[in-house]
Each structure stands twice: as C-alpha cells, then as structure tokens.
Amino acid sequence: MILFLDFDGVMHPSRAYMGQHGPELAGDGSLFMWADLLATALAEHPGVQIVLSTSWVRRLPYMQVCGYLPPMLRRRVIGSTWHRIRTEADYSKGLPFSYWQTASRYQQVRRWVDLYRVTRWLAIDDHAEESAEADRARLIHTNGETGLSDSAVLARLSGLLEANDPRHQS
C-alpha cells in the first residue's frame, strides 16, 4: 500500500514557512511534532510505503526533505510526487512542465496512482477540497491546526490501514 503524505497541517500545524535556514514553524510547537503518532499507526502495517506529496519537495532537494522525517518513517519513503516530475519521463509524459507548477497535490497523487496502477493507496492531507469525490474515501483529511494529533483522524487512519491490509482480508 502507498501512503501519500503531506507535511504542513498533518505532521505539524500548517504554520510552517521557509526561513533563512530552512523550514520553520511559526508560533507554538515544532516541526514534525506529530511524526511519532504516524509511526505508531504504521507500526502494525510493515507493507505501507510512503510517497511524499508535500510542497516541501518543490523548494528543497528530495534527500533533504526525506531527512526531516524520523528514521522509522524515512525508511518507508519510496519517492515524492514532485521528484517524479523531474526524474521520470513517463510521469510527465504529455504534460508540459508548466502544468506541474499549478497542479494540486491531489492531481500529482492521481497521476502517480494512474501511471503506476496503484490499487491500494491512501492520502493524508489538510486540503480535501482538491480531491475528486470518487477518491474521498481514501483521503484522511486533517485540520491544519491539529493534524495527526486529532484522535478522530488517527482512528480513521487506523481503520483505513486495517481495511486495506492484505494480511487481514479473507
């Protein structure tokens, strides 16, 4: 299973910005303050791989973005939607680079899903309005200020992970 992961509004409040020395969080809290919650939720699902769908990969090198994640999540990362635009001709085939400058995270996720014929996937994002109605059941929508710290969000994530785990299906 693939888990498309946004950072801002999911792993920490959406108040992150690019500071002089890299990403910073305005106000209280810290970057990736809820990363352990995701790691715990994924612990029972070793087959889940992460694809970064965060806007951070537009501004920072792919390996640097991966490096912000704790090791238990970093080792699950297999790519990013933006990284594929730059490195894989098939991903962008038929689409000018200008398309990707304004494509929503959902459009980038959908391109990945369609091109690689992914059948089991989820996305965690604080921008649900971008997704198609047909894919809303795969979206774990977070509030930008509470992200994964919301117990209802964690319960939804756990339920969807369990429902999509082939080890638990008959």
Domains and CATH numbers, the chain: 2-168 (3.40.50)
pLDDT tens-digit profile, the chain (170 residues): 999 999 999 999 999 999 888 899 999 999 999 999 999 999 999 999 999 999 888 888 889 999 999 999 999 999 988 766 666 666 666 666 666 677 788 888 998 898 889 999 999 999 877 788 889 999 999 999 999 999 999 999 999 999 987 776 65
CA–CA separation, 73 vs 2, rounded Å?
Answer: 13
Residue 144: name the closest of 161, 129, 131, 125 by CA.
125
Question: Side chain identity at 150, as an amino acid letter?
Answer: D
Residue 92: name the closest of 112, 77, 117 by CA.
112
Classify residue 9 as left (phi > 0), alpha (psi -120 to 50) or beta.
left
Residue 121: name the closest of 72, 57, 51, 16 by CA.
51
Lookup: tokens for 85: 């635009």
